[in-house]
Chain A
Amino acid sequence: MIPLSWYLTLSAALFSIGMFGVLARKNAVAILLGIELMLNAVNINLVSFWRYNNPVLMDGQVFAIIVFAVAAAEVAVGLALVISIYRRRNTVVADEIDLMKW
C-alpha cells in the first residue's frame, strides 16, 4: 500500500517546480504555466487527504472542484491581461512590464 507521505512529497516537489517557473521565467505566459503547476500540486494534496482521511466525507473533493473553478478564473483573467499588455506594449516579458513601478 502507498503511504500518504508519497503523495505529499510528490505534491511538494510539483509545487516547488511550479514556484521555480513562476520566479525564473521571463515570459508572462510561462509564469502562468508555473502557477498552473502549483494549483495542481494543491489539488493532489486535497484529493489524497480526502482518500487518506475518511473517504465518506466529501470535503476534500468539493475543495478540489472549487480549485478548478478558481484556476479557470485565474487563467482567463491572467491571459487576458497578458494579451492586452502585448497589444499595447508589444512585449510579454514580465520584467519589461513596469508601468506600475513609477
Chain B
Amino acid sequence: MTAAQIIFLITAAVILGSAFMVVTTKNLVHAALWLIVTLFGAAVLFATLNAGFIAVVQVVIYIGAIAILFIFAVMLTRRSMTDTGPGLNRGWWLSAAIALLTFGGLVWLVSGWGGFTKAAPAYPSGFDAVAALAHALVSPEAFVLPFEVASVLLLAALVGAVYIAFQRKGEE
C-alpha cells in the first residue's frame, strides 16, 4: 500500500458514504450538506489526478453555486421545518435492484476492456496542465467553438429558468 492508494481509498469511502447519505437521508437540508461532502471528495480526487483546475472549479461552481442553489430551493419548497415524510418510494427495493444491476453491468463491461487495469503514464515533468487547458479552450485550432457555445447554453438556461421561476405581479 502506498500513500497515494491510502488517500484514494479514504476519499473513495467518504465519497460513497456521503453519496449514500444524499440519497437516503430524510431531511433534505442534510441531503444537500452531504452532497457538499461528496463534491468535496470528488475535488480531492481531481487534485490527486493532477487536474488542479478541475478541482478548484469543482469547488467554486459545485459547492459555491450549485449546492447553495439547492439549499435555497429546499428552503423555498417546504411547508415547515420538520416536514420530511417518507423519503423513498414504495418501490424503492426495485430501484435498488436496478442500481445494483447497473453497477454490476458497468463493472462487467469495463473490466472486459483491455486498458482496465493500466497504470498512469508518467506525468510529463514541467508540463503545466492549467496553461495547456487555457490554451486548448481559447486557441482557434482547438475548442474555441464549444467554449463560446457553452456561454450561449448558459444564456438560454438563464433566460428560461428566470422566466419559469419568476413570480409575476398579481400572481399569489
Contact = CB atoms under 8 A, between A and B. Distances in A.
A binds B: yes
Interface of A: 1-10, 12-21, 23-27, 29-30, 32-34, 36-37, 40, 43-44, 47-48, 50-56, 58-59, 61-62, 64-66, 68-77, 79-84, 86-87, 92, 95
Interface in B96-122: 96, 98-100, 102-103, 106-107, 110-111, 115-121
Contacts of A23: 89, 94-95, 98-99
A3 B23 CA distance: 28
A44 B42 contact: yes
B4 interface: yes
B50 to A, nearest CB: 6
B81 interface: no
Which 6 residue pairs of A and B lie closest in terms of their CB atoms, listed nearest first? A21-B23, A73-B157, A23-B95, A20-B99, A16-B103, A24-B95
Given A4-B115, A77-B164, A10 B77 contact: no
Contact of A82 (B15, B77, B132): B77
B121 A52 contact: yes
